[in-house]
Amino acid sequence: MLALDNIRVIDLTHLPPGALCTMILADLGADVIKVTAPPETSQRGAGAEAMLTESDSRRMTAFDALNRNKRSIQLNLKHQDGHKVFHDLARTADVIVEGFRPGVVKRLKVDYDTVRDINSRIVYCSLSGYGQDGPYSTFSGHDINYISIAGALSIIGSPENPSIPLNLLADFAGASLHGVIGILAALLARERTGRGQYVDISYTDGVINLLTWFFSLHFASGISPSPGKSWLHGAYPYYSTYRTKDNKHISIGCVEPWLWENLCRALGKEEYIPHHIAAEHFHQPPQDEKWLEISSYLQEVFLTRTRDEWFEFLSDKNVPVAKVYTLAEVANDPQIIHRQMIVEIDHPSLGKIRQPGIAIKLSETPGRIRKLAPSPGEHTDEILKGLGYTDRQIKQLRRHKVVG
């Protein structure tokens, strides 16, 4: 048994944040049906797909963890008959997730109000940059824009330049994870009310939610964190990264006084023990020259051993230390392997392939990777037959380019 057995999700998303949201639901057991347009009816991504050879496409699909555990149907939502197929599918669904700009799903006749009229139990989740309402709701944007508006970009990086943190904050934390939380909350509420509801997830709202602690400190003190000038930004040597003898890096996180004491004793520098975190470190760079001395010493001493040697030495002394890994190194770390966060899966032609594992560990109903990502439209006939369509009707839909 899986936690989300018998929950059907229709995935209308077309970007990685939406795919991660529905991947998590699929990993936990939901029957996720990914809807994409037949290639001859869509311009989205057509150029990139056309550049791939059949072999490259097959390989990319095999490693596409974001779409694992899903089924795929190609459906033309701009065609009248495509609307009917979608509405038939929506009648059987528990959840719909879409990531279009506000207003698009209404034009396509697959919006919440339309679906609710035929399925009052539907949980309908929209992922959008700024939300479904407000003066920015129709603006285009990407992660960098959302973390700018939410204030995150201004407090990350160095004092000279903001540092762009890939697309982790708005896309995958602000949208994907908040989308999963909203969907699961709405499904739980449905158990009590018998009714579904609309879940409006804004990438920007999600980032502000992630910054709750920082906003609380700001509203209390009137001070905003400055990049590179506070304890969490590496301004103080007890919370920073250091280059090692082999030109790699380790990270040190000795925030608590006793952990700082452990580091100082391990290095034979007990005189540094009294110098640990203070209230002013939350919002200003070091004012005491002693901190510059300590920082300089740590930079020099960490150059005397390799990254792995320091990790072995300090982790044994109860010092918060970690190796700064490349992605390739992550996959071979014993802790990551033990937690099954990098797993090997059998592929019929490619042999063993590796993918990230399942982060949500449930003791009674654990998630499972049941199948690899489907090729586009791989399950079109299977899904349509499950809705009661005959072979003749399916052939006719394909002839009219309604399905692919």
DSSP-derived 3-state class of residue 42:
coil
| Buried/exposed 86-118: b ≥16 CB within 10 Å, e otherwise | bbebbeebbbbbbbbebebbeebbbbbebbbee
What is the rounded CA–CA span in Å between residue 122 and residue 116? Answer: 6
Reference 250, options 235, 266, 237, 262; nearest CA is 237
What is the rounded CA–CA span in Å between residue 374 and residue 27? Answer: 14
Whether residue 31 lies in the annotated active site = no
> Using CB atoms within 10 A of its CB, is residue 266 exposed (0-12), middle (13-18) or buried (19+)?
middle
CA 178 to mean position of chain CA atoms: 9
Set 142, 246, 288, 391: catalytic member: 142
Whether residue 171 lies in the annotated active site = yes
Instruction: Using the structure block, give the residue that is written with the tokens 């009674």.
Output: 364
Residues 6+ apart with CB under 8 A from 118: 87, 90, 91
What is the rounded CA–CA span in Å between residue 332 and residue 19? Answer: 26
| 147 residue type, one letter | I
User: Which long-range contacts does 342-347 make (Cβ < 8 Å, 24+ apart)?
Assistant: 343/369, 345/369, 345/372, 347/62, 347/372
**What does each C-alpha distance from 339 to 211, 290, 296, 325, 334 come to in angstroms?**
28, 41, 37, 17, 9
Reference 183, options 94, 114, 110, 119; nearest CA is 94
**What does each C-alpha distance from 312 to 127, 316, 321, 322 come to in angstroms?**
44, 6, 9, 10
Tokens encoding 212: 């709750």
How many alpha carbons lie under 13 Å from residue 112 in its C-beta half-sphere?
20
Residues 6+ apart with CB under 8 A from 52: 60
Set 11, 94, 111, 171: catalytic member: 171
Residues that are catalytic: 142, 171
